[in-house]
Structure 1
Amino acid sequence: MYQRPCAYLSGSFDVVLCQLGLQFFPDRPRALKEMARVLRPSGRLGLSVYSAIEHTPAAHAFVQALDKFLGAESSRTKRAEHLSCGAAEVGTWVRQAGFDRVDVETVSKQISFPSTLDYVRFQLTATPMAALLKKEDDIGRESKIAAIADDVAARLDSAMLANGRLTFPQESFVVAASLR
């Protein structure tokens, strides 16, 4: 079967920015090689990607609660947002794609929600995970959201739940790289 080549010619861009997208490519090294291919000489790459879900406590507690209440496959979408490797491996992929100046930093930022319930409600109504509760009526949906939120809160350090708010670190890898 004929597959149409990428519409962009090699050396078309000065900068490629990939924010929270690399984890969704089935072949990440190939995606990075394509990013390098479309860059001009001395072109730059900037990308960010979430680290392992275990390094983001609220997300990790959330997927555990999803698995408990909705079944093992229910957390697949949320888990897919995160890489399961470390910063060194991400740096290796970028170097192997042809970038020579590569800087990978592990960055942690504090994320805050008015409450654990608000965090869970957001995840289950305003993201692709809303599909998990699409068969529920309003009462059933709210009941499951509340139960999952209670379970998430029970899994977190109490310091993350101060004053009724939910505040937690979100860890990402941030990459700056360039071609010769």
Structure 2
Amino acid sequence: MRLYGVVGWKNAGKTGLMERLVTEVTGRGFSVSTVKHAHHTFDVDQPGKDSHRHRVAGATEVLLASRKRIALMHELRDEKEPTLEELLQRLGPVDLVLVEGYKRDAHPKVEAHRAETGNPLIATDDPTVRAVASDTALDLDRPVFDLNDTGAIADFILREVGL
């Protein structure tokens, strides 16, 4: 499975870059899936809906299906959080999986960086960060792209994964 990550600190532009990369790469005819790590509790269904009622009642998994999409919710309850590798095994085959977050995992990554956040670069201490997409010029030992140059960033990632 071809895998590439987008990492960065809060408000660095990760989600916007992910969105643009998915549009760019799928526009070139490749299939893409995404994995997004959240550091906080989140909910994808709403109180009062049948799926929410099933989950709150104690169901381990709730599969919601229609003609347009399916959604599988799995309650961890007291289970440990699955690893990225375990999550990837649940995905169907695609040309490329883009991962937002999981900055400590060993897959190759591009770092999104905005100077205004004042956060240090992850890349300086992490060799798995193969390039940086920034809103400011940086002097690094790896490629630096303009954060908004989605085409160049996509070219780099696709070369890196062999597509």
- Report the TM-score range of the alignment, normalised by the length of the smaller protein: under 0.3
Which TM-score applies when normalising by structure 2?
0.23
More helix by share: 1
The structure with the largest alpha-carbon Rg is: 1
Question: TM-score, structure 1 length as denominator?
Answer: 0.21
